[in-house]
Chains A and B, each alone.
Chain A
């Protein structure tokens, strides 16, 4: 163990020497649970529907992920292997196990056990990390790899783990410099085709925005404006001093519209405000569209979250603006349609802000790739 780093065994469980010892300990714990359940005449299920590998390089991220998985145990009972690769400290790859058994139904009618394993690695173990994880996987079950932080292209352990993976989950909200990292994700996505699925939690967060944006054009009278878009503004939240700039979510939204509507990049221009982005884009018919991605300080929003969108369009000499604004408290959004400068329609609807655990829960129910996401990502990389 790295000096000065103490593993909290009450959280992560007792230490096991090697995979065989770890499996023995899990079997023992299962047996104890079974015996206990029999006494109480309650059925117990050793339920596992997937392997989930979580990679984290900080203990607090590992813990947060572990808590999320615990919250998901009923919906996605899994064997969770939390890989905590701390690059400080000396070389070691240690495994600690803990088995959690929840009684989420108050009358205790049902118990579901899931298994949580911590693989803690210290030092430079890039060449051997996967060899400690592979034997821990439950045979035959799909493998999800949740990579917290920026995926390191060119790292052997990342490549080795990807070879086992059916679905890679990343969160571009954590990417420090998305303009550099998103193209990396696009490369991974390209390599992944046919081998494993790829998703981004920031893409999952976009779902309500995509829903409302498409719903405008479900109205037959407004359908024509979709081909006549002249401008797009997407705002994203930053903190008061504007230090942390996370435009990934907003960029994905732009990429999504561009891929759906067949837009092509023309040029990247200098934005008028710090942290913003300005693109000139060609519509399918060749007309020029200006796309602005702007940082906004909004109290109560998470950094990087889209704060609002504004689509300007013309059709048959009519001018329209489709506006969605996020309201922080309580969380809801207002959608407005302005035709020829006259407000014609307005609705207010709840806009949930799902926690990581809900986003992960959603992504774990999907296997295979998401074509719409891949196309949005490709379009975005071409733009940026």
Chain B
């Protein structure tokens, strides 16, 4: 199979306008030879700085075919703030209509992320309790063990806020908090996401100082191996104030979630590679059992594990099999791998196929990107005004103590992810 596929791979290098002309000639020849009707998908796997020039060149050199469809896939981050995203959007729209633009966020291609919608909206038992009446709070964790690797040039400018929060994290938040869409299609699903993103309370002033923590890793150990601090990484300024960790307490100001905090955190060089969403439910209204019996009980939680070890678990209290009553929190586990016995397709496989088919449900629409920046921008600019607020944490720990304080103030604690 690979051999026949590989025969249709062609490589054209473009350093200047002549290169784009050559690309056009190659595409025309292939259309003629293979009868592909000039259906074209452009995938920009380039640094964001190059997007504008490439899109313009696609337009100027008439790389869109005359007859078939043309689509463009753009990697995140789309812009570096709201106004640059709008500008980039305008440039892209000079060549491509919005329904031809596929802004990729590979998290949305993950099986377990798609399963959030399936779980919520194909089952009868979850949605009735998916609201402020039953939910105590929600925690979303995107933890990486890797450091900045070879991406220091990009990361120094982006930081965790632009790299993860603006896209992956807010998408997860949107999927878990959105209202049920009327249909499973690109318009209905994305309309609902935009609605909930619009309901995110903007963080400024006092709220920002209290409920947003940024951190940067110092040297430590990952899986028993010594690793350097962020400022010691190649390409990073020795006095860099770029955040490699973010924790936020986010409010969704709508009917469903009024008063329910969403604690979200992401970081590099955390002890464990793990992405998960945990919905923690309220405790039982009246406790029958003694304090000793309840020592092992934790509130009910539904945990959606995005990676690794994809699955879902429900935590509840059960009687320990001994004389008398002792209660222990146990997990009812659903494990993707063991249940379906097949490897889930890679997120990019899913998304590229969707883009070829023209299904944009799992891609971000311009108004989503716009809302994401609208939420993130005031935090970034607030932080820029108070540069002293960067907390340090040792690589291999779960972030700065300030992040613990953020959640412990509310009598809650971060999950042991």
Query: What is A's interface to B at a CB cutoff of 8 Å?
Result: 18-20, 23, 27, 30-31, 34-35, 46, 48-49, 75, 93, 121, 125, 127-129, 131-132, 134-135, 137-143, 164, 197, 362, 365-369
Q: Is residue B326 within 8 Å, beta carbon to beta carbon, of the partner chain?
A: yes
A35 touches B341 (CB 8 A): yes
* Cβ-defined contact, A137 with B221, below 8 A: no
CB distance from A200 to the nearest CB of B (A): 18
Contact, CB under 8 Å: B329 / A30:
no
Q: How distant is A145 from chain B, measured CB to nearest CB, in Å?
A: 14
Residue of B273, B315, B321, B337 near A30 (CB, 8 A) is B337
Task: Please give 14 more A-B residue pairs, beta carbons under 8 A apart, in addition to A75-B321, A365-B328.
Answer: A23-B309, A30-B338, A49-B328, A93-B225, A127-B221, A128-B226, A134-B272, A139-B303, A139-B305, A142-B329, A367-B295, A367-B296, A368-B295, A368-B296
Contact A365 B276 (CB under 8 A): no
Q: Which residues of B are found within 8 Å of A139, using beta-carbon distances?
A: 274, 276, 303, 305, 415-417
Bound form: Cα–Cα A20–B223 in Å: 10
Are A135 and B295 touching (Cβ within 8 A)? Answer: no
Chain B 250-286: CB-based contact to A (< 8 A → 1; otherwise 0): 0000000000000000000001111010000000000
A19 to B309, CA, bound (A): 12
Which residues of chain A have C-beta atoms less than 8 A from B417's C-beta? 139
Least CB separation from B291: chain A residue: A368
Is there contact, CB below 8 Å, between A19 and B272? yes
B contact residues, total (Cβ < 8 Å): 42
Q: Given contacts A34-B338, A139-B303, A368-B292, is CB(A131)–CB(B333) below 8 Å?
A: no
Residue of B nearest to A367 (CB): B296
B338 contacts across to A, CB distance below 8 A = 27, 30-31, 34, 46
Bound CA–CA A135/B221 (angstroms): 12
Q: Does B405 contact A (CB under 8 A)?
A: no
Q: List 20 A-B contacts (CB under 8 A).
A: A19-B223, A31-B337, A46-B335, A48-B333, A127-B221, A131-B221, A134-B396, A135-B273, A138-B331, A139-B276, A139-B416, A140-B301, A140-B313, A140-B416, A362-B322, A366-B295, A366-B296, A367-B328, A368-B296, A369-B295
Contact B221 A128 (CB under 8 A): yes
B333-360 vs A, CB cutoff 8 Å, 1 = contact: the mask equals 1010111010000000000000000000
Q: A137 vs B326: C-alpha distance in the bound complex, in angstroms?
A: 23
B residues 118-164 touching A (CB-CB < 8 Å): 145
Residues of A within 8 A of B205 (CB): none
Does B309 contact A31, Cβ atoms closer than 8 Å?
no
Residue numbers in A under 8 Å from B298 (CB-CB)? 140
Query: Which one of A30, A134, A142, A368 contacts B271 once the chains associate, using CB atoms below 8 Å?
Result: A134
User: What's the nearest-Cβ distance from chain B to residue A54, in Å?
Assistant: 17
Q: Verify B331–A365 contact, CB threshold 8 A.
A: no
B222 within 8 A of A: yes
> Which A-B residue pairs are the 6 nearest by beta carbons?
A368-B295, A93-B224, A367-B296, A132-B224, A128-B221, A131-B221
Contact B415 A140 (CB under 8 A): yes
Does the CB pair B329–A140 fall under 8 Å?
yes
Distance in angstroms between the alpha carbons of A56 and B85 in the assembled complex? 56
Nearest-Cβ distance from residue B170 to partner chain A, whole angstroms: 23
The distance in angstroms between the C-alpha atoms of A141 and B296, with both chains bound, is 10
* Contact across chains for A30 and B335 when beta carbons are under 8 A apart: yes
Most buried by A among B271, B276, B333: B271
- Does B320 sit within 8 A of A, measured CB to CB? yes
B residues less than 8 Å from A46 (CB atoms): 333, 335, 338
A131 touching B296, Cβ below 8 Å: no
A121 to B221, CA, bound (A): 14
Whether, in the assembled complex, B220 has its beta carbon less than 8 Å from a beta carbon of chain A, the answer is yes
Q: How far is the CA of A18 from the CA of B272 in the complex (A)?
A: 11
Whether B308 is near chain A, meaning CB under 8 Å from some CB there, is: yes
Closest A residue to B278 by CB, please name it. A140
Contact residues in B for A20 (Cβ distance below 8 Å): 273, 308
Q: Provide the residues of chain B in CB contact with A164, threshold 8 Å.
A: 416
Check if B225 sits within 8 Å of A135, measured CB to CB: no
Is B57 close to A, CB under 8 A? Answer: no
Residues in A whose Cβ lies below 8 Å from that of B337: 27, 30-31
The complex places the Cα of A131 from the Cα of B226 at a distance, in Å, of 10
Q: B117 on the interface (CB 8 Å rule)? A: no
Residues of chain B lying within 8 A (CB to CB) of residue A197:
295
Identity of the chain B residue whose Cβ is nearest the Cβ of A141 in the assembled complex: B331
Chain A residues positioned under 8 Å from B295 (CB to CB): 197, 366-369
Q: Verify if B330 is at the interface (C-beta below 8 Å from A).
A: yes
Interface 0/1 of B217-239, CB less than 8 Å to A: 00011111110000000000000
Contact between chains at A48 and B328 (CB < 8 Å): no
Residue of A nearest to B310 (CB): A27
Q: Indicate whether A34 sits within 8 Å of B341 (C-beta atoms), given known contacts A125-B224, A128-B226.
A: yes
Residue of B nearest to A137 (CB): B416
Least CB distance from B59 to A in Å reads: 43
Collect the chain A residues with CB atoms within 8 Å of residue B272's CB. 19, 134-135
